[in-house]
């Protein structure tokens, strides 16, 4: 059960952040409204939301999940693979220390972003990507091993269109994963029941199970129906402005 989430609204320069999506520039007003709706959904799930101020120094700063990993009762500061985001870890330390007085951190030459880390019960999947390297996965694996987790490595660098592992993977509970079709047969996912995001609905794979409610991106009806037929209680959220910046539902909060 999650009890807390840390979030940061986008700043007015949000459109100048990093993106590979080719979906156009986001609109700031609608992005703020979508972020507010997201925070309200977290609260409806029983979570106390800590809202940080927007940080104009970092256009990508709203994607707070990338700058820390929280697992096993500890918080680990990452070392983002995008140089323009590395200062975000400094900004998140104060808010995190309210809940986790003793922070660990990933040290260079390691790179690691939280979007490449998917906790699935006793397992944690770590993606090797353009933003997370092998040394980053090694250092995080050491921390997670101390906390009793089993780590599974997933190299996604050869898969077109996937920025972070969680762009194409979500843990649905009950030993079940929602994945892009191209990931479904990977050995790392052996032992899990696989639900495939529908073709052309790959973005839908970035969803978040929060205290029995599945926060799910609006606009992906085939995958939505699959999940409803499996018995999930979905709350649909419009995150189209964040999709333009390679972001999704998991990226917008640190949950613990």
The residue extents of the domains of the chain are 4-255
Residue 200 pLDDT: 96
The pLDDT score that the predictor gives to residue 124 is 98
- Asked about 251 being catalytic, the answer comes back as yes
> Binning pLDDT at 50, 70 and 90, where does residue 117 land?
very high
| Tens of pLDDT, residues 194-243 | 999 999 999 999 999 999 999 999 999 999 999 999 999 999 999 999 99
Known catalytic membership, residue 164: yes
Q: Which of 45, 118, 207, 251 is catalytic?
A: 251
pLDDT digits (tens, 9 = 90+) for 118-151: 999 999 999 999 999 999 999 999 999 999 999 9
Closest CA to 152 of 105, 118, 112, 110: 118
Structure tokens at 218: 């609006």
How far is 213 from 232, CA to CA, in rounded Å? 7
Q: Of 61, 113, 117, 115, nearest to 82 (Cα)?
A: 113
Per-residue pLDDT at 68: 98
Mean of pLDDT values over 74-92: 98
Q: Is the peptide bond before 109 cis (omega within 30 degrees of 0)?
A: yes
Phi-psi region of 148 (alpha: psi -120 to 50; beta: other; left: phi over 0): left
- Which listed residue (35, 45, 164, 207) is catalytic? 164
What are the C-alpha distances in Å from 25 to residues 9, 14, 57, 201, 241? 17, 9, 19, 21, 8
Task: State percent of the chain over pLDDT 90.
Answer: 100
Burial class (CB in 10 A: 0-12, 13-18, 19+), 67: buried
Q: Mean of the pLDDT values across residues 72-84?
A: 97
| Fold observed for domain 4-255 | 3.75.10
């Amino acid at each position: 059960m999650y009890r807390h989430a840390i979030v940061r609204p986008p700043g007015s320069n949000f459109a100048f952040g990093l993106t590979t999506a080719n979906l156009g520039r986001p609109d700031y007003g609608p992005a703020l409204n979508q972020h507010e709706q997201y925070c309200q959904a977290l609260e409806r799930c029983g979570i106390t939301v800590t809202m940080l101020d927007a940080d104009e120094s970092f256009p990508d700063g709203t994607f707070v999940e990338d700058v820390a990993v929280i697992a096993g009762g500890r918080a680990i500061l990452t070392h983002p693979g995008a140089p323009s985001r590395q200062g975000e870890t400094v900004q998140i330390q104060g808010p995190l220390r309210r809940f986790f007085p003793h922070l660990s951190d990933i040290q260079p030459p390691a790179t690691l972003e939280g979007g490449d880390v998917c906790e699935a019960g006793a397992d944690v999947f770590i993606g090797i990507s353009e933003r997370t390297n092998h040394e980053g996965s090694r250092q995080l694996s050491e921390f997670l091993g101390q906390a009793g987790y089993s780590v599974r490595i997933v190299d996604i660098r050869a898969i077109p269109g996937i920025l972070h592992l969680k762009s194409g993977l979500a843990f649905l509970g009950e030993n079940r994963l929602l994945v892009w079709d191209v990931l479904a047969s990977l050995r790392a996912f052996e032992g899990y029941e696989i639900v495939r995001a529908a073709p052309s609905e790959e973005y839908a794979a970035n969803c978040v199970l929060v205290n029995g409610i599945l926060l799910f991106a609006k606009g992906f009806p085939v995958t939505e129906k699959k999940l409803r037929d499996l018995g999930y209680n979905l709350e649909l959220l419009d995150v189209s402005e964040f999709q333009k910046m390679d972001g999704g539902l998991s990226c917008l909060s640190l949950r613990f």
